[in-house]
Chain A
């Protein structure tokens, strides 16, 4: 295949990987602190609707993205309360959050289905965007894509090179020890779970404000669940997470290209590809993990912490 065909597909891969990327980065933060949020799908939908309606109301997509962050964090606060303060089962709470978010977004958005908004326009980065091929793939998108590059780099730096990042890793690994060293486990878990929810909201906001510039019920189409799977693939490292997202984006973009080009492959098979790939990647990574190559999940992931509970 020639470069002319591949380059646009790779550029499209970046674009369709970006919403998942925001959700994955959020979930990495949340899970690093020990709270698993399976409700990403619902949070993304809430964020998508909040972004859409705020943009529609103000005409400013930046307000839309900010609204999606706030809405995402707000709805995740239910999950944070149940998991951190009440010590509830994180799997079930996450499922409840997914259901609630899906239902809530559909209910709020029922009168806006199919309406469009003027979202964020792409803008080519000067200089970098002029590099042949690379510029087209990475630097001919919209501001939110560029922001996601910065986010990945910032998170890598934050988690592995800064003091709060060290504390974050410690809390997810051993909350009891972190508590004994004077860290407030509950406060940190709240903060990172809400930040994670906010980023998942932005992921949804990107879908509605930038990607499709309209509101459709259930428009995330399983990307929230895929994000959860990609976090496992990422072994909780932002860089690997980004790689996984662009892989997903690539399959998604390819699938859409093929549909648009009118191949003989039936549409449901094409639609199935991202899910099948996610499953395949998950199996692959788990088999490799068995061989002792990779580190595991944060050790306290999914476990509530109470200081006075005796071991």
Chain B
């Protein structure tokens, strides 16, 4: 242990947290100094978020001690942590969409009057947002804000509570590159004022550009804590994964195939009934991966649902293999070979309380050979198929009869892939297929998608991770506000900045 120049702001010693009998955190030591930005990196499932949830009082540790400013801290609830000046901005924002910004700011505060005072609150918020250069409209409803604005509200909310220690969980995953720069500038202002900031991330490049120190976690244990400017990024990557990273090799694409799926002027509404997709037209070709870039919530989900037959079209047509199939039922889309990997595997893609075979049966229970005489189901065949798929996709499950909810995120994703890819689909709509997976599982998913591409399937890959898109895509399409801002035919010739501009709503220059 090195000696600290000054007493750390936060010090965690020997923190353990056990979930379902396994260690999510094991004997972790963590220090945060005043005025530093400390990055906490590791793969998904390494225990970063768990450790910070403990610091924010959301989880209680099974053992270990925490001191804040030299004071021993034992948190029974987030309120206790807030009183110690610790605030966390979660990956899923803790905002209440039906309330206005100023109401969200007030939430849970004790030292304000019994009767709500709109005026004084609004002026306070205006002051703060100016001081930290984070513009927000205090009277707007949260559901009407963009994700970037919501993040600013979250940060201001924590600062308003007198937060000294700000924890940000994957803050850049929802931002354009430009917004990321603005956020980092604002964070610097805070550390200059003496705050300590923890950033949880799995993107090493980003971390290197902002962090003073880096702590690496792997499989629930701390690997090391280092000064960022004294460490090479390759070394960090290796510490994170525990081995040298293997780059997924994309075989050179053949000549572009014919269009397997064509969209013309698609318009659709979102769940609130407001116009969301407006006039989207593009072709998806055989044997290509079309990357779709965009900040979350710019109608990528609606696009996928429309293309899977799950969302009604207001206008426009979808042509699959030369046939207009707009307006057909979801079942018809499935029959014709459109397979869809939704983003929320637990809510949409799978039925977590049902077992593996039943989840495999979801998309084929009505057709041979899983069905018998249009009435019955051949469970023997289905469980045989399940066993085969479990093998082929290396799904780790207690048994084929166990409920899917007992599987880890990566295995759930593999289960969904196994179902969606096993019938040689024509079109694959993949929404964030590696979201929340560790590097190994993500590599596996990417390899399978590349195999499907080699087979000739047209793949639409929606992601917020530009690295992933640049690595995987033959072309990159950028969406903003329900419109296509442009399609980069040769991604290698386009800079991230240009993609970022398009994500922010600036249409593509004709030259690219």
Instruction: Tell whether B380 is near chain A: CB-to-CB under 8 Å.
Output: no
Q: A177-B94, A178-B107 are in contact. List 13 more A-B contacts (CB 8 A).
A: A167-B107, A170-B99, A170-B107, A173-B96, A174-B96, A176-B94, A180-B56, A181-B94, A182-B77, A183-B108, A184-B79, A292-B272, A307-B59
Nearest A residue to B79 by beta-carbon distance?
A182
Instruction: Tell whether A261 is near chain B: CB-to-CB under 8 Å.
Output: no
Asked if B115 contacts A161 (CB within 8 A), the reply is yes
**B65-89 near A? 1/0 per residue, CB < 8 Å:** 0000000000001110010000010
- Report chain A residues within 8 Å CB of B106: 163, 166
Nearest A residue to B109 by beta-carbon distance?
A163
- Closest 4 A/B residue pairs (Cβ): A182-B79, A181-B108, A177-B94, A292-B273
Instruction: Tell whether B376 is near chain A: CB-to-CB under 8 Å.
Output: no
Contact of B78 among A162, A166, A179 (CB under 8 A): A179
- Report chain B residues within 8 Å CB of A292: 272-273
Instruction: Tell whether A4 is near chain B: CB-to-CB under 8 Å.
Output: no
The complex places the Cα of A54 from the Cα of B98 at a distance, in Å, of 43
- Report chain A residues within 8 Å CB of B93: 177
The complex places the Cα of A161 from the Cα of B77 at a distance, in Å, of 27
Asked if B114 contacts A163 (CB within 8 A), the reply is yes
Asked if B98 contacts A182 (CB within 8 A), the reply is no
Asked if A177 contacts B77 (CB within 8 A), the reply is no
The complex places the Cα of A311 from the Cα of B58 at a distance, in Å, of 13
User: Hey, which bits of chain A sit against chain B, CB under 8 A?
Assistant: 161-164, 166-167, 169-170, 173-174, 176-184, 292, 295, 299, 307-308, 310-311
User: What class of interface size applies to chain B in its complex with A?
Assistant: 20 to 34
Asked if A169 contacts B99 (CB within 8 A), the reply is yes
The complex places the Cα of A303 from the Cα of B89 at a distance, in Å, of 24
> Which among A166, A181, A182 has the highest number of chain B CB atoms within 10 Å?
A181
Asked if A162 contacts B115 (CB within 8 A), the reply is yes
The complex places the Cα of A310 from the Cα of B90 at a distance, in Å, of 13
User: Hey, which bits of chain B sit against chain A, CB under 8 A?
Assistant: 19, 56, 58-60, 77-79, 82, 88, 90, 92-99, 103, 106-109, 112-116, 157, 272-273
- Report chain B residues within 8 Å CB of A177: 93-96, 107
- Report chain B residues within 8 Å CB of A166: 99, 103, 106-107, 116
- Report chain B residues within 8 Å CB of A178: 96, 107-108
Q: List 19 A-B contacts (CB under 8 A).
A: A161-B115, A162-B115, A163-B113, A163-B114, A166-B99, A166-B107, A169-B96, A169-B98, A170-B103, A173-B99, A174-B95, A177-B96, A178-B108, A179-B77, A180-B58, A181-B82, A182-B82, A307-B58, A307-B59
- Report chain B residues within 8 Å CB of A311: 92
Asked if A161 contacts B116 (CB within 8 A), the reply is yes
Contact of B96 among A163, A170, A308 (CB under 8 A): A170
The complex places the Cα of A170 from the Cα of B94 at a distance, in Å, of 11
The complex places the Cα of A234 from the Cα of B115 at a distance, in Å, of 24
- Report chain A residues within 8 Å CB of B77: 179, 182, 184, 307
Asked if A163 contacts B98 (CB within 8 A), the reply is no
The complex places the Cα of A249 from the Cα of B99 at a distance, in Å, of 33
Asked if A174 contacts B272 (CB within 8 A), the reply is no
* Chain A nearest CB, measured from B511 CB (Å): 42
- Report chain B residues within 8 Å CB of A179: 58, 77-78
- Report chain B residues within 8 Å CB of A174: 94-96
Nearest B residue to A298 by beta-carbon distance?
B98
Nearest A residue to B50 by beta-carbon distance?
A310
The complex places the Cα of A295 from the Cα of B93 at a distance, in Å, of 21
Nearest B residue to A311 by beta-carbon distance?
B92
* Chain B nearest CB, measured from A162 CB (Å): 6
Contact of A180 among B88, B97, B109, B272 (CB under 8 A): B88
Known A161-B116, A292-B272, A307-B58; contact A180-B103, beta-carbon cutoff 8 A = no
* Chain B nearest CB, measured from A304 CB (Å): 16
* Chain A nearest CB, measured from B244 CB (Å): 31
Asked if A162 contacts B59 (CB within 8 A), the reply is no
The complex places the Cα of A274 from the Cα of B272 at a distance, in Å, of 33
* Chain A nearest CB, measured from B102 CB (Å): 10
- Report chain B residues within 8 Å CB of A307: 58-59, 77
Nearest A residue to B157 by beta-carbon distance?
A181
Nearest A residue to B20 by beta-carbon distance?
A310
Asked if A180 contacts B273 (CB within 8 A), the reply is no
* Chain A nearest CB, measured from B36 CB (Å): 24
- Report chain B residues within 8 Å CB of A163: 106, 109, 112-116
The complex places the Cα of A160 from the Cα of B501 at a distance, in Å, of 41
Asked if B98 contacts A173 (CB within 8 A), the reply is yes
* Chain B nearest CB, measured from A290 CB (Å): 9
* Chain A nearest CB, measured from B141 CB (Å): 11
Nearest A residue to B24 by beta-carbon distance?
A310
Asked if B78 contacts A180 (CB within 8 A), the reply is yes
Asked if B108 contacts A167 (CB within 8 A), the reply is yes
- Report chain B residues within 8 Å CB of A162: 114-116
The complex places the Cα of A295 from the Cα of B141 at a distance, in Å, of 14
Asked if A181 contacts B273 (CB within 8 A), the reply is no
- Report chain B residues within 8 Å CB of A170: 96, 99, 103, 107-108
Nearest B residue to A291 by beta-carbon distance?
B273
- Report chain A residues within 8 Å CB of B273: 292
Asked if B107 contacts A183 (CB within 8 A), the reply is yes
Nearest A residue to B409 by beta-carbon distance?
A310
- Report chain A residues within 8 Å CB of B112: 163
The complex places the Cα of A93 from the Cα of B90 at a distance, in Å, of 33
- Report chain A residues within 8 Å CB of B95: 174, 177
- Report chain A residues within 8 Å CB of B94: 174, 176-177, 180-181
The complex places the Cα of A271 from the Cα of B182 at a distance, in Å, of 67
* Chain A nearest CB, measured from B409 CB (Å): 10
The complex places the Cα of A111 from the Cα of B444 at a distance, in Å, of 74
The complex places the Cα of A178 from the Cα of B103 at a distance, in Å, of 12
The complex places the Cα of A139 from the Cα of B97 at a distance, in Å, of 41
* Chain A nearest CB, measured from B227 CB (Å): 32
- Report chain A residues within 8 Å CB of B108: 167, 170, 178, 181-183
The complex places the Cα of A292 from the Cα of B56 at a distance, in Å, of 38
